[in-house]
Amino acid sequence: MNVLKRYLPILDWGKQYDRQTATSDLVAAVIVTIMLIPQSLAYALLAGLPPEVGLYASILPLVAYTIFGTSRALAVGPVAVVSLLTAAAVGEFAQQGTPEYLGAAIVLALLSGLMLLAMGMFRLGFLASLLSHPVISGFITASGLLIASSQLKHILGVRANGQTLYDILVSIGSHLGDINWITFAIGAAATVFLFWVRKGLKKLLLGFGLNAFAADLLTKAGPVAAVAVTTAISAVFDLGEKGVRLVGDIPSGLPVPQLPTFDSELWLALAGPALLISVIGFVESVSVAQTLAAKKRQRIDPDQELIGLGASNIASALSGGYPVTGGFSRSVVNFDAGAATPAAGAFTAVGIALATLYLTPLLTNLPQATLAATIIVAVLSLVDLGAIKRTFVYSKSDFAAMAATILVTLFFGVEQGVVTGVVLSIALYLFRSSRPHTAIVGIVPGTEHFRNIDRHKVVTGDRVLTLRVDESLFFANARFLEDRVYALVAENPHIEHVVLMCPAVNAIDASALESLEEINHRLSDSKVTFHLSEVKGPVMDRLKKADFLSHLTGKVFLSQYDALCTLDPLTAHISESRTPKKVAQSNVWSGPQI
């Protein structure tokens, strides 16, 4: 039974499900459904797919996540960034508007689902850590700008193409003489209205005395109002005959579940993009889920989230949809609306299904410019230019990675931007890990504490050199530690003992163990004894399995104070006077500080 609960979280929260919880979930579902209908249509348009595909991708995936997901508030479905990635990936193999294009998008969803499912089964949730936050922020900011610029053609009513910011702007610029001014009026008015709704409507409604819940609901329904009004205007004035591009006929009815056609060549070609979409979608989804869970002191299981998202994407593929993930805006709305369990997603799926059955004929005259305005307003909320400044002030290396990700995404494409972000994240991690912080330490007078000699007034001696290393030791930084120890010993001819202080060392791999053995051997040749202190229990257990300790020229001390009292009792005695001073200056070092 515990195994089933591990893979089917619904068995856990379902036991406590009651009428009050169901009411909360139903209310949240109504609000999210109202928001999701125009959003699903818009994101399908962004992905280059028929609008009904966005609705299909918002039904079965929500049901699948209800069964397998662990977040109580995450709302799964089409999102802007994944839609852009889908368009970029599928556009390499088929022309938009063709059955082959739709078929490739469905295959992409299935491959992404299978990959996420496999990652979850093998507990690879930790892979999300390979993307640093500045890189993710940079990619999302660049994607937001790229998506917004790609929708300008729909606002202006011109034909334009391009996958990069430069190509899009050049293409739009070359067609400025073809602007359809009626389309522009609709698109610009819808954009201004939606920005006003997002920023000012709730405050205005509260000023009129409306309660917070009703004001919030009406604010969230802003895109629905824009869709309804522009559709009505289009129908009354027959704007389609005046060059305004409309959504057109949207098939009514639910999709018939079926497996996509197997084409080994296509599947292999889409495997790489599917992996990128899986990683980006998972990172975005788990970030949102963890943020919302923390607000209610709940927890999510990243490995199970992989399974939940995998099942959702497989369900999307089976129902004729495209890749999905947990969306930020709809999840926040779901949370604020009071969703208590993942069942809110299932209720939302019912709402979307009913809309697909009965409301699609009403959307025939919906201008594409309105959907483009919905996308622009949604994605620009993801653009965080302030983060660029904050990152620059705090860390120049993180800023460099962030800036590179933004520039590559904007001017070379989203897939290249993702790859750049992953590579830079890993490269930054390896660079920092390969140069661990180390500090020569001395004893704080009158205490048993040891601190960096360059930051604190401490007592040191010339016979014992204590080097504290502040990171686990592994293949990437083992050689650095060797060079550091040898350099310090060469600079201090009076040293008789070197103590490697290890309070922050959580692991020592085989490469680092060989380096410790080499340090021990070379110090022995120099008539210097090598010791360790404050080694953690798990690390000590690993060292005991090797023969390193039997060859160690010195000892392993429980604490650094024990080491000092044993190896240099004079310095330990002087420190008891509580008068900070240096016993000798030969071991003063002016390197990195902590």
pLDDT in tens, 257-276: 888 888 899 999 999 999 98
Which ranges of the chain have pLDDT less than 50?
A: 579-594
State the pLDDT at residue 344: 93
- 146 and 18 within one domain: yes
Chain-centroid distance, C-alpha 125: 12
Of 368, 396, 428, the last residue of a domain is: 428
Q: Is residue 586 part of a domain?
A: no
Of 428, 450, 471, the last residue of a domain is: 428
Q: Is residue 280 part of a domain?
A: yes
Domain that holds residue 362: 2-428
Kindly give, in sequence order, each residue whose CB lies less than 8 Å from that of residue 344, ignoring residues fewer than 6 positions away: 24, 25, 26, 28, 29, 32, 73, 75, 334
CATH of the domain at 541: 3.30.750.24
- Residue written as tokens 């890993």? 426
- 319 and 423 within one domain: yes
> How is residue 258 written in tokens?
């079926």
Beta-bridge mates of residue 556 = 532
- Which amino acid does the sequence have at 51? P
Q: Is residue 291 part of a domain?
A: yes
Kindly give, in sequence order, each residue whose CB lies less than 8 Å from that of residue 340, ignoring residues fewer than 6 positions away: 21, 24, 25, 28, 72
Beta-bridge mates of residue 439 = 468
- 379 and 255 within one domain: yes
- 455 and 362 within one domain: no
Asked if 422 contacts 131 with a C-beta cutoff of 8 angstroms, the reply is: yes
Asked if 316 contacts 323 with a C-beta cutoff of 8 angstroms, the reply is: yes
State the pLDDT at residue 118: 95
Q: Is residue 583 part of a domain?
A: no
DSSP assignment of 369-429: HHHHHHHHHHHHTT--HHHHHHHHHH-HHHHHHHHHHHHHHHHH-HHHHHHHHHHHHHHHH
Of 404, 428, 452, the last residue of a domain is: 428
Q: Is residue 587 part of a domain?
A: no
H-helix or E-strand containing 10? helix 10-13
- 456 and 408 within one domain: no
Q: Give pTM, 2 decimals.
A: 0.77
Q: Is residue 132 part of a domain?
A: yes
> How is residue 107 written in tokens?
């295959």
CB atoms within 10 A of CB 525: 7
State the pLDDT at residue 577: 60
- 348 and 447 within one domain: no
Cα dihedral value 345, 348, 353, 354, nearest 10: 160
- 243 and 303 within one domain: yes
Longest dimension (CA), the chain: 97
The β-bridge relationship of strands 529-533 and 556-557 is: parallel
Which of 122, 111, 36, 116 lies closest to 79, judged by CA?
36
CB atoms within 10 A of CB 212: 10
Asked if 313 contacts 79 with a C-beta cutoff of 8 angstroms, the reply is: no
**Number of domains present in the structure of the chain:** 2
State the pLDDT at residue 589: 31
- 419 and 488 within one domain: no
- 442 and 424 within one domain: no
State the pLDDT at residue 591: 32
- 553 and 414 within one domain: no
Tell me if residue 94 falls in helix, strand or coil.
Answer: coil
Q: Is residue 592 part of a domain?
A: no
Q: Is residue 114 part of a domain?
A: yes
Alpha carbons 311 and 67: distance in angstroms, whole number: 9
State the pLDDT at residue 5: 66
State the pLDDT at residue 35: 78
Alpha carbons 373 and 198: distance in angstroms, whole number: 13
- Residue written as tokens 């040293």? 495
- 473 and 404 within one domain: no
- 192 and 210 within one domain: yes
CA atoms within 13 A on the CB side of 474: 11
